[in-house]
């Protein structure tokens, strides 16, 4: 039986580590052509070389998702290299949590720029191409925090809830163009996300929590593979998953 992922062109933002790296490696093994975008070019180059050593196809484009023109350049590079974009994984994100009373507006702005605007820029970059082809799949990464909020996580939760709202609006808008949409909301997965916290005690608490219960990034990659492997007439719109031990 043919692998439904084989030869699909997948663009991944936040592709230098964590969920993006795990997704790139797993889907490349299934025959996808990978286009990585992130700020850390050396990290991406190492991933690409590893994928190519296993017989896969991959390229990387240095990309800061807070700059719309860089996201457009990433998508155009995929089209120039492989002729099309079959799927976009809007994965870039950060989580500098803190109490609102601390007034850490710089962190708030960074979360809004990366977690919300970065997703919008990705959608804007691929949508004209996918509309023209009447085919495509846009996958946005939210979080358990997009479903629940607790003290210290108000702004992060707001950005991840926004991703869910944007995804649902997009789902309805693209029905005439045969484009599929998925939003994936992971719980504690072993990535560098806790390190993005800028308040020392918050960062330490998050890391301790993740060290105790986080599951490997491959768990996300397998979820992505499931959503992308469905027949064209099946649209997996939302997936929420957690470590079995996670209460929040």
For residues 143 and 184, give the distance between their C-alpha atoms in angstroms, rounded to a whole number. Answer: 7
Q: Which residues are known to be catalytic? A: 156
Angle made by CA atoms 129, 63, 28, in degrees to the nearest 5: 70
For residues 172 and 181, give the distance between their C-alpha atoms in angstroms, rounded to a whole number. Answer: 9
For residues 5 and 21, give the distance between their C-alpha atoms in angstroms, rounded to a whole number. Answer: 17
Q: How many CB atoms lie within 10 A of CB 192?
A: 15
For residues 122 and 12, give the distance between their C-alpha atoms in angstroms, rounded to a whole number. Answer: 10
**Alpha carbon 174 to its chain's center:** 20
Q: How many CB atoms lie within 10 A of CB 137?
A: 23
Q: What are phi and psi of 238, to 5 degrees?
A: -150, 135
């Amino acid at each position: 039986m043919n692998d439904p992922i084989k030869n699909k062109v997948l663009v991944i933002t936040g592709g230098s580590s964590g969920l993006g790296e795990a997704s790139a490696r797993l889907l490349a093994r299934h025959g996808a052509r990978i286009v990585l975008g992130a700020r850390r070019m050396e990290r991406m180059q190492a991933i690409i070389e590893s994928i190519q050593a296993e017989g896969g196809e991959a390229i990387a484009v240095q990309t800061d998702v807070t700059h719309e023109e860089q996201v457009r350049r990433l998508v155009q590079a995929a089209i120039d290299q492989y002729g099309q974009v079959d799927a976009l994984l809007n994965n870039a994100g950060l989580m500098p949590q803190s109490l609102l009373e601390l007034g850490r507006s710089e962190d708030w702005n960074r979360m809004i720029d990366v977690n919300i605007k970065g997703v919008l820029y990705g959608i804007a970059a691929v949508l004209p191409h996918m509309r023209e082809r009447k085919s495509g799949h846009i996958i946005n990464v939210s979080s358990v925090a997009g479903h629940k909020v607790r003290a210290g996580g108000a702004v992060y939760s707001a950005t991840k809830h926004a991703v869910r709202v944007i995804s649902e609006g997009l789902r309805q808008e693209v029905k005439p163009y045969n484009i599929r949409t998925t939003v994936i909301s992971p719980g504690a997965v072993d990535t560098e996300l806790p390190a993005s916290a800028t308040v020392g005690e918050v960062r330490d608490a998050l890391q301790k929590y993740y060290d105790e219960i986080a599951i490997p990034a491959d768990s996300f990659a397998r979820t992505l593979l499931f959503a992308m492997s469905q027949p064209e007439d099946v649209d997996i719109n939302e997936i929420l998953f957690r470590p079995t031990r996670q209460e929040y």
